[in-house]
Amino acid sequence: MKEKQIITGFSKLTKDEKIKEVARYFKNPQEISDFLASFWFHEEKHQKLFDEFSENTISNFHFPFGIAPNVMINGKNYLIPMVIEESSVVAAAANSAKFWSTRGGFHTRIISTTKIGQVHFIWKGEKEELKAHFPELKQRLIEGTQAISKNMQERGGGILDIELVDMRKEIPDYYQLKASFNTRDAMGANFINSCLEEFASILKDFVVHKETIKEKEVIVIMSILSNYTPECLVEAWVECPVEEFDAIDPDMTSKEFVWKFEKAVQIATVDPHRATTHNKGIFNGIDAVVLATGNDFRAVEACGHTFASRDGQYRSLTQLKVENGIFKYSLLLPIALGTVGGLTSLHPLAKFTLELLGDPSAEDLMQISAVSGLANNFGALRSLTTKGIQKGHMKMHLLNILNTFGATEVEKDIAIEYFKTEKVSFNAVETFLKTVRN
Ligand code: MEV
C-alpha cells in the first residue's frame, strides 16, 4: 500500500471522488471502488439516508441482526433484536431466556430516569455572593429556558432541578451549574445541551447586571450533558429455588453449581480484571439491543463502567443473593436510552426493532436492554462454571473459521457434520479442510 498523503478538502469531494481518493492507495483501484459500492443499499433512498447519518461516507459497514426469542420480562414474552458480530452472544441470550422462561422469566423495575447536564465555569468572586443570589438566578435559568423546555414539559418532562456546585477544592475558582432533567422517551441530548448553553448565557448576563455581585467575569469553560447518569437506573433480576439447577450439569449438584456461581460473582466483585470481562459479557447483551434500536452504545458503555467504579474500585454490575434456598441474581445499572427522535426513528431497522418490541417507552427499553445484559451474563457464567465457554464458542465460530479458509458450501456441510463430535480449533479446521480437499 502506498504511503498516505495529507489531503485537503476531503469533505468537499463528491462521494465518487472520495472513493477514488481512497482507492488510489490500492494496487487495484477499480476493484476497490466496486467492492465498496457492493455494500451500498440497492434502494437509493436508504443509501442517501445512511450517507447523511455521518460524514465522508464511502460505504456501509454491515453487522448481523439476530433475534433472541422467548425472553419473558415481567410476564410478557419478547423477541429481542440484537445487532452483534460475536457469534455466541445471541445464542447465549437465547439459551438463558429459554432456561428462565420456565422459572418465572426476568423481572425488572425502573428506579429513576433522571439525566444530568453541567455548565462548568470559573468565577473568582466571593462564593457567598453567588450562593445568596442563587435562588433568584435559578428562577431566571428556568424562566429563560421556557421556550426550549415547553415541548418537553408538555410531554411530562423538562428541567427537574438546578444546583450550584462548589468545586474549588478540586480546581481554583471552579463551579458548576448542575442540572437534572426528565427527557421522557427521548434520549434528550439536544434538549439538555440547548438548555445548558442557554443557562450559560443567562448566568453571565445575571452576574454582569447584578449590582450586588462584585466580580463580573464568569468564564464558561463548557456546557454539556453528562453521560454519567447514576440516577437513570434500572434493575433486572431472575430468581428460583436452588433445586431448579439440578439438571444444569451432569457432573454437578444444584448446590455445587450455585456455590461455584456465587464464587464467580464474588471474584468479579473483588478483582477488576475479572470484573471487566464479567461486565463486558453484560454489555454484549446490552450493546446489541442499544445498537439495534439506534441508541448511543458508547454513552451506555461509558456510563455503565463509571457506575461499576462508583465506590472507587471497578466491580461487577451484578449481585447474587442466596437466601432461604432461593437464588436471586440481579443486575443494577444506569442506562440512558431513547425511543423517539434521533436515529431511533430514522434508521429503518431501528424503527423495525422498536415495532417488534411493541413500541416501547424509554423506560421499557431500559428494562429490555438490562434483561439482555443479564441474560448474556448468566449464560456466560453458567458455561464458565460448568463446561467452559470454548466448546460452545468454537462451535459457533466454526463458520467464521471455514469462511476464513474460503470453504465452499459443500465443504462447510461436511465440516459441520464432522465437528459435531470433534473439538473445533483453527488448526483442526485447517487440517480437516486439507484432508477434504486432497
Ligand atoms: C465474551 O464475549 C464474554 C465472556 O468473556 C464474558 C465472561 O467471561 O463473563 C464470556
| Phi, psi of 66, rounded to the nearest 5 degrees | -120, 175
Q: Is a pLDDT exceeding 80 seen at residue 393?
A: no
Distance from C-alpha of 111 to C-alpha of 236, rounded to nearest angstrom: 11
For the Cβ of 357 lying below 6 angstroms from any atom of ligand 1, the answer is no
Asked if 392 contacts 90 with a C-beta cutoff of 8 angstroms, the reply is no
| Phi, psi of 220, rounded to the nearest 5 degrees | -80, 120
Distance from C-alpha of 331 to C-alpha of 202, rounded to nearest angstrom: 41
Distance from C-alpha of 424 to C-alpha of 101, rounded to nearest angstrom: 30
Residue of 228, 284, 226 whose CA lies nearest to 91: 284
Residue owning the nearest CA to atom 3 of ligand 1: 281
Q: Is a pLDDT exceeding 90 seen at residue 333?
A: yes
Residues 279 and 383 in one domain: yes
Residues 315 and 425 in one domain: no
Residues 89 and 148 in one domain: no
Distance from C-alpha of 104 to C-alpha of 343, rounded to nearest angstrom: 34
Q: Which three cell numbers stand for residue 96?
A: 438463558
Asked if 419 contacts 395 with a C-beta cutoff of 8 angstroms, the reply is yes
Catalytic residue numbers read 86, 280, 296, 393
Q: What is the mean pLDDT of residues 239-246?
A: 97
Confidence label for 189 from pLDDT (cuts 50, 70 and 90): very high
Confidence label for 22 from pLDDT (cuts 50, 70 and 90): very high
CATH code, 141: 3.30.70.420
For a mutational test of ligand 1's pocket, the pick from 261, 273, 278, i.e. the residue with the most ligand atoms closer than 8 A to its C-beta, is 278
Distance from C-alpha of 24 to C-alpha of 16, rounded to nearest angstrom: 12
Domain count, the chain: 4
Confidence label for 248 from pLDDT (cuts 50, 70 and 90): very high
User: Helices 127-144 and 146-154 sit at what angle, rounded to 10 degrees?
Assistant: 60
Atom number of ligand 1 nearest to Cα 86: 2
Range of the structural domain that residue 34 is part of: 1-62
Residues 260 and 180 in one domain: no
Quickly count: other Cβ atoms within 10 Å of residue 422's Cβ. 11
Asked if 285 contacts 176 with a C-beta cutoff of 8 angstroms, the reply is no
For the Cβ of 380 lying below 6 angstroms from any atom of ligand 1, the answer is yes
Longest dimension (CA), the chain: 91
> Which of 226, 254, 273 is at the close of a domain?
226
Residues 275 and 315 in one domain: yes
Q: Tell me, rounded to whole angstroms, the distance of Cα 90 from its chain centroid.
A: 16
- Tell me the β-bridge partners of 330: 237, 319
Atom number of ligand 1 nearest to Cα 88: 2
**How close is the Cα of 411 to the center of ligand 1, in Å?**
30
CATH code, 331: 3.90.770.10
Residue of 284, 363, 278 whose CA lies nearest to 315: 278
Q: Starting at the edge strand that comes first in sequence, how are the strands of the sheet with 326-334 ordered?
A: 107-110, 233-241, 326-334, 318-323
For the Cβ of 281 lying below 6 angstroms from any atom of ligand 1, the answer is yes
Confidence label for 161 from pLDDT (cuts 50, 70 and 90): very high
> Where in 173-317 does DSSP place strands (E)?
174-182, 218-226, 233-241
Q: Is a pLDDT exceeding 80 seen at residue 256?
A: yes
**How close is the Cα of 101 to the center of ligand 1, in Å?**
22
Distance from C-alpha of 27 to C-alpha of 246, rounded to nearest angstrom: 60
Per-residue pLDDT tens digits for 64-105: 999 999 999 999 999 999 999 998 999 999 999 999 999 999
Q: What is the pLDDT of residue 142?
A: 97
User: Helices 409-418 and 426-437 sit at what angle, rounded to 10 degrees?
Assistant: 120
How far apart are the two ends of the chain, measured CA to CA in Å?
34
Q: Which three cell numbers stand for residue 296?
A: 448511543
* H-run or E-run covering 19: helix 15-23
Residue 227 gets which letter from DSSP?
A: S
Q: What is the pLDDT of residue 405?
A: 93
Residues 257 and 348 in one domain: yes
For the Cβ of 382 lying below 6 angstroms from any atom of ligand 1, the answer is no
Residue of 242, 245, 334, 225 whose CA lies nearest to 290: 334
Residues 168 and 44 in one domain: no
Task: Report DSSP letters for 54-95, one per residue.
Answer: SSS--S-----EEEEEEEEETTEEEEEEEE---HHHHHHHHH
> Which of 226, 254, 271 is at the close of a domain?
226
Q: Is a pLDDT exceeding 90 seen at residue 12?
A: yes
**How close is the Cα of 284 to the center of ligand 1, in Å?**
8
Residue owning the nearest CA to atom 9 of ligand 1: 278
Of all residues in the chain, the percent with pLDDT exceeding 90 is 92
Residues 364 and 420 in one domain: no
Q: Is a pLDDT exceeding 80 seen at residue 392?
A: no
Q: What is the pLDDT of residue 208?
A: 96
Q: What is the pLDDT of residue 95?
A: 96
Atom number of ligand 1 nearest to Cα 274: 8
**How close is the Cα of 404 to the center of ligand 1, in Å?**
23
Q: What is the pLDDT of residue 200?
A: 98
Residues 265 and 184 in one domain: no
Q: What is the mean pLDDT of residues 370-389?
A: 95
Distance from C-alpha of 328 to C-alpha of 320, rounded to nearest angstrom: 6
Q: Tell me, rounded to whole angstroms, the distance of Cα 160 from its chain centroid.
A: 25
Atom number of ligand 1 nearest to Cα 381: 9
Atom number of ligand 1 nearest to Cα 92: 10
For a mutational test of ligand 1's pocket, the pick from 90, 389, 391, 397, i.e. the residue with the most ligand atoms closer than 8 A to its C-beta, is 389
**How close is the Cα of 4 to the center of ligand 1, in Å?**
38
For a mutational test of ligand 1's pocket, the pick from 89, 286, 384, 387, i.e. the residue with the most ligand atoms closer than 8 A to its C-beta, is 384
Q: Which three cell numbers stand for residue 371?
A: 434483561
Residues 239 and 305 in one domain: yes
Q: What is the pLDDT of residue 345?
A: 87
Residue owning the nearest CA to atom 1 of ligand 1: 281
For the Cβ of 280 lying below 6 angstroms from any atom of ligand 1, the answer is yes
Entry pTM: 0.92
Distance from C-alpha of 315 to C-alpha of 236, rounded to nearest angstrom: 17
Residue owning the nearest CA to atom 2 of ligand 1: 281
Residues 125 and 150 in one domain: yes
**How close is the Cα of 234 to the center of ligand 1, in Å?**
22
Between vectors from CA 116 to CA 111 and to CA 119, what angle results, nearest 5°?
Answer: 165
> Which of 226, 244, 274 is at the close of a domain?
226
For a mutational test of ligand 1's pocket, the pick from 266, 277, 331, i.e. the residue with the most ligand atoms closer than 8 A to its C-beta, is 277
Q: What is the pLDDT of residue 386?
A: 94
Per-residue pLDDT tens digits for 93-144: 999 999 999 999 999 999 999 999 999 999 999 999 999 999 999 999 999 9
Q: Which three cell numbers stand for residue 57?
A: 461516507
Distance from C-alpha of 388 to C-alpha of 114, rounded to nearest angstrom: 39
Residues 18 and 122 in one domain: no
Confidence label for 397 from pLDDT (cuts 50, 70 and 90): confident
